[in-house]
Amino acid sequence: MAHYYFDNAATTPVSPSVVTAMTEILQNEFGNASSTHYFGRQAHHLLDQSRQILAESIHAAATDEIIFTSGGTESDNTAILSTVRAYSDRGHHIITTAIEHPAVLQTMAYLEKHGYEVTYLPVDAQGLISLADLKAALRPDTILVSVMMANNEVGSIEPIAEIGRLLADHQAIFHTDAVQAYGVLDIDVQRLGVDFLSISGHKLHGPKGVGFLYARNGVKFVPFMRGGEQEHKRRAGTENLPGIVGLAQAAQDLAGREKANKRQQLLALKQEVIQVLTAQGVDFAINGPDVDLAAPHVLNIWLKGVPTELALMNLDLRGFAVSGGSACTAGSLEPSHVLIALFGEQAPQIRESLRLSFGSENDLASAHELGLAISAVAHDYLQKNAQTI
C-alpha cells in the first residue's frame, strides 16, 4: 500500500540538498567553532557563512542578530524569558494571543505563576486578532507583546507589520513566532518592526533540533542557556554545525523565486483537495481564513458529522497521514485550543476537524487521492451511522 504524507505543519522530510550539505560536514568538518586552530577556524567559517545566509533571508541589519538555538521552542522561550528578566523594572504586563503555540502559552502560564499578568487577545472566526483589541490592552507597564506570524493549525496570518507600527512608540518588546511562516512567506524584520523572531529548521525541509532566534541589536538580552561564551555570550553550548549548515541550505533552497513558486504549488494542492471534496458532495467547511488568505501550506476542514479520531484512524489505514491539530499536543484528549478560540468550547468543529498540511514532496495526483480518501471516509461513516439510527 502506498503511503502519503500530509502533515507538513508538524514536520517536513529533509530535502536531498540538505542531506548532502550535512553529510559533507559530518564527514569532513568535525572541529569545534570555538577552537583557535585550523579545524576550529574551518568550523567557525562555516558557522559565519550560515549566519550570513540566514540573516539575509529575513533582511536582518547584521549577522550577529542571529542566535542559533535547538529550534522553535527554545527560541520562543528565550525571547520571552529574556525580555521579562531584562525589563522587569519597567512592568510585569504581557500581551499574547489565545492561539499561540504551546511553546509560548506554556511559558506565559509559567510567568503568571511568578507574578506576571498576561492578557490573551481573542481571535475572530478567521483566527485573526483585532488591532483595536491590542491597542486597548496596551498599558504603560506592558513590557512584551508576543503574536505568532502564521498559525500552525488554521493558517491565519496575523497583521505583524501593523502591530510593529502600533508598538513603535511604546516600550513593549515585540516578539513573533514565525516557525510556520519562514519557509513559505517573505519575511523582512525591518518592515515588520519586530525585536525578536523565532525559527525552526524542520518546518522547511531542514533538520530537526536546530533553529535560530533573531534578536534586534539594541534590545536588552539575558541569556537563557548559560555556560560557555558561544553565540556572542548569548547561547551557551557547542554549536550544532551540521544542523546549522543544513538549516542554511534549506533557507537557500527556498530563497527568492523558489519561495514564490512553492507558495503557488502549495495553494494548488489545497485547491485540488477542496475541489475533490466539493465534487464528491462532502459536507465540509474551511476552518479559519479563506484558502488564498491563509498560510499556503495549511488547510483545516470541518468534516461535518465525522469524529476527528475516527477520520484520522481510517485515513491512516488508507495510507494518508494527516492530523487533528498541533503535533505538540498529539496523544492528548484535550480539544484544540485554537479551534476553541475560533468557535467556542461547544462548537462541533472542535470534535470534527482535520488539519491537512502540504509540502514540497506532495503533488496534484496525491492531493487528488487525499480528497477522494477523505470523501470515502466521510461517506462511509455517515452512511453507517444513518443506518444505525
Can you give the residue ranges of every domain in the chain?
4-12+257-388, 16-253
Type of residue numbered 249 = Q
Q: What pLDDT is attached to residue 257?
A: 85
The residues near 281 (Cβ < 8 Å, ≥ 6 apart) are 375
Contact present, 129 and 341 (Cβ < 8 Å): no
Rg (CA), the chain: 22
Angle at 15 between CA 251 and CA 186, to 5 degrees: 30
The residues near 130 (Cβ < 8 Å, ≥ 6 apart) are 121, 122, 124
Q: What pLDDT is attached to residue 1?
A: 86
Q: Which residues participate in catalysis according to the annotation?
A: 328
Pick the closest to residue 74 from 236, 241, 248 (CA basis). Answer: 236
Q: What pLDDT is attached to residue 333?
A: 53
Q: What pLDDT is attached to residue 328?
A: 53
State the residue for C-alpha cell 519561495. 259
Let me know if domain 16-253 sits in CATH 3.40.640.10.
yes
* pTM value > 0.85: yes
Query: Which SS3 state, helix, strand or coil, does residue 13 take?
Result: coil
Q: What's domain 4-12+257-388's superfamily in CATH?
A: Aspartate Aminotransferase, domain 1 (3.90.1150.10)
- Phi, psi of 300, rounded to the nearest 5 degrees: -110, 120
Range list of H helices, 196-256: 230-233, 241-253
DSSP letter assigned to residue 18:
H
Pairing of strands 298-303, 353-357: antiparallel
Residue ranges of the chain with per-residue pLDDT less than 50: 330
Q: What pLDDT is attached to residue 45?
A: 97
Q: Is 3 exposed, middle or buried (0-12, 13-18, 19+ CB in 10 A)?
A: exposed
